[in-house]
Structure 1
Amino acid sequence: MTLGKNDAPSAVRAQPPGWRDPRLWIGVAIVAASVVAGARIIGGSDDSIAVWGVAGDLAPGVAVDAGDLEQARVRFADPADAERYLRVADELPADLVLTRGVGDGELLPRAALGTADDAGTVALSVSVPGSQVPTSVGPGSRVDVWIVPDSGDDKATATLAVEDVAVIDSPVGSSDFGSSSTDRQLVLGIPDDTDLSDLILASGAGRVMLVGRG
């Protein structure tokens, strides 16, 4: 052993791995897998729904077809709100007619839709006790409207006020409309040649009953 002589090995500069180094390809595979997994997670978290919007101003009574519509993806805070609009996944009926005007860029609400049979109608708002309207009835439903007798009249029978009419809208019930907070307010498309006097009086007295037609 020689005093003062440094026997430490000389330093060797680290070389980056070559393209044939398996460690390089393992790293590439890990990165690629991470990207794919991240994309799937992000894609899976997209809970937006494709609904129809209006491509231009449309007036009441106008027939609606695919050329009048454009797709829009919307994320609804309350899933129940999505049912108020016509989804792209739904089959578009052939004889759609607007029962009220819809502006350019608006989503297409089910409440604004009717058929050619709804032409020549007036919109009538009625109050119906919650127990006298099927829970499935809502905008777009078709119903028969009956007037039930006063509870104190044992001999009277229910009478058919109007048959097979469209439910145009179903606003949130309010105790300010009708006699009870359980009443439902429904807007019906009634033929404009119908005598509405009895129906209006029955509505105010809570004597209207609806029968859904499917």
Structure 2
Amino acid sequence: MTTHTRIRRTPWGDARFWIGVALVVLSVVGVWLIVNASRSTTPVLQADRTIITGEALSSSDFRVVEVSLGAAADAYLAPQDLTADQIATRALSEGELLSSAAVGDAADARTTTIVVESSVGLPARVAPGTVVELWQAPPLEEGFEEPRILVADVTVASLVEEEGMMAQDRPAVEIVIDRADVSAVLSAITGGAALSIVPMGSR
């Protein structure tokens, strides 16, 4: 009678065993890296108040917060990145993190401010930092032309408080505009156009 000896294969002699072990190890390492990255924070600047386009940036306008940004950390400014010759290239809301895209050199500034009087009352939502459109209605011999946009996408720097009866009828607003648009705005003012401040998205 012939007997056959059954050879028992050890698990470590099977390639599938080692592939399984490798996958488990990779999974554990991956989870560890993700958890470790989520615990890593970066000190960045956060606005303490609304900052207007073109305004000089100062460390006193920000507080330092620790935020987990991961790969996006380089897109935001740390305390040591802020220098004295930098300005805001767009409006920053209170509590917003300071991104490098919102910062520029003062020497390269293309904006200025100008005060305009609105021919109608200001919407309640208009405040410093609000992005608005400046509309004009050029004068006719009788009445005014159809209103149209004079300058789009400008920022309110401040609400100018005036005294007297005209303060209620024609509120004044200081706006931040591109220098290239100054001539058109001044021409509209001196030409007697009726000007209106319209918040973006309110049409």
User: What is the TM-score of this pair, normalised by structure 1?
Assistant: 0.43
Larger Rg: 1
Comparing both structures, which one devotes a greater share of its residues to helix? 2
